[in-house]
Amino acid sequence: MSVRIFKGTVIYTDTLDKLTVINNCHVVVQDGIIIDVIEGDLNGRYPEADITDYGNGIIIPAFTDLHMHAPQFVERGVGMDCLLFDWLNNYTFPQESMFKDTDYARIIYAQLLYEMIKHGTLHTALFTTIHYDSCDLLFRMLIESGMYAYSSKINMDQNSPEFYVEDTQKSLEDTERFIIEHKDLSDHVKPILIPRFAPTCSRELLTGLGKLAEKYDLGIHTHLVESKAEAAWSKELFPDCASDGEIYEKTGLLKGKGPKIFAHVIFPTETEERILKQYDCVSVHCPDSTSNITAGIMPASVMLNKDMKIALGSDVGGGHFLGIYRQIARTVQISKMKEFYEPDYKRLVFANAFYMATVTGGEVFGKIGKIKPGYQFNALVLDNLQDEGYTLTPEECLERFCYGGDDRNIVHRFIDGKEIDPQTVLKKLKTIG
């Protein structure tokens, strides 16, 4: 592939605490990978390269949503008066049960992926449902979209409604079948194990999934200490385990080499902290969702100070907005609230949250999340963030985008150096059978 150069103001986070800003920057891309980043004039370098000049446009890494529920897309912003378990029983389980119909699944999933791309989310880890065919459909749609993703079918064989629960052995058989049929379909979209959360999974099911994790070197994506009630229920069901996290350790689900993604992690115990570090897990902060269901606020700065990895997730439909850029703003906002009510807690700053949304989440998929040599050019171009008569710095423009911008400010989207158009993707997705 020929060399392409993209010119603009580059912003990314090389470290957790600081934005890197490069004005008048040339990003040199070959075969989808950044091979050079040059500030100022090219001075004769790359004379044959095609240069695209975005003027005052800001080039940033594309966003990663490391925890969201694909079938809950149509629930966003609905039932937000409810607390967690009422919301699950009254809205979520009935909605998810509808995905036994693949025609319905196609309609919803096409809209979902279109909206994610439109809002600059090009990498994701998705919860699905128990229905094999609609999970297979979503996997193939993800491949067609060009996105990077982890997805599979979820597992739940107890403490679930009669109309939406699995037989233990069939759940394991379907999961292994899904792994075998999908593990080699794509370099960008991969299966992962998804036990819904500990109370909905029997020990037999979790142990069986643990064997699959080791056999196929798979990661895990689940919820962890999302609420005090959930954590207490888990310990009641698994009395030999000191914590929610230890359930997954003892059943072998942390033995695979794939990513270990734990959503929420609002009340981590010392055992959870040990597990998160020992197994190189990523905790996913979902600020909108935890506010909506009043579960609590992740002690993110405390965890970061203990060298734990934290990414961001929309957790749609518990969260009400798909754009991860808004979760960056929410992360800062609710950390300030936490500091107000807990004076010993240190709030997060914008650079911390931006790092979580791009670097920590992105690196689950490889060299993704920075604008520097060796990384994939998975990027967004932002513009139209200035007001007439008043000038913002590039950093201020980025902050304004995260707090008050929207998809109209994302003027270009790139995956592996190739521009991706949401409308074109939507047309393709609607034809997948």
pLDDT of residue 78: 85
| Position 317, amino acid | G
Give 2's pLDDT tier (boundaries 50, 70, 90): confident
Asked if pLDDT for residue 294 goes beyond 80, the answer is no
Q: What is the pLDDT of residues 180-198, one digit of tens each?
A: 999 999 999 999 999 999 9
pLDDT of residue 86: 85
Annotate 320-340 with DSSP letters as a single string. Answer: S---HHHHHHHHHHHHHHHHH
CB 147 within 8 A of CB 124: yes
Q: What is the pLDDT of residues 124-151, one digit of tens each?
A: 999 999 999 999 999 999 999 999 999 9
Q: Cα separation of 383 and 405, whole Å?
A: 10
Q: What is the pLDDT of residues 242-251, one digit of tens each?
A: 999 999 999 9
Q: What is the mean pLDDT of residues 204-230?
A: 95
CB 287 within 8 A of CB 315: no
pLDDT of residue 1: 60
State the pairing for strand pair 379-382/410-415: antiparallel
Cα 354 off chain centre by: 13
Chain-wide mean pLDDT for the chain? 95
pLDDT of residue 417: 97
CB 369 within 8 A of CB 61: yes
**What does the DSSP 8-state code read for residue 309?**
E
> Per 3-state DSSP, what percentage of the chain is helix, strand, and coil (rounded to 5)?
40, 25, 35
Domains and CATH numbers, the chain: 4-61+369-422 (2.30.40.10), 63-365 (3.20.20.140)
Give 42's pLDDT tier (boundaries 50, 70, 90): very high
**pTM of this structure:** 0.96
Task: For the chain, give the percent of residues with pLDDT over 70.
Answer: 100
Task: Between 244 and 21, name the one with better pLDDT.
Answer: 21
Q: What is the pLDDT of residues 108-118, one digit of tens each?
A: 999 999 999 99
Q: Cα separation of 431 and 321, whole Å?
A: 26
Q: Which residues of 356-368 are buried (b: 16+ CB within 10 A; e: fewer)?
A: bbbbbbbbbbeeb
Q: Which of 92-96, 277-281, 398-402, 407-411 has the lowest mean pLDDT?
A: 92-96
CB 149 within 8 A of CB 128: no
Q: Helical H runs in 217-360? A: 228-237, 244-250, 270-278, 287-292, 300-305, 324-341, 350-355
Q: Which of the listed ranges 43-47, 108-112, 315-319 does the model predict with the highest average pLDDT?
A: 108-112
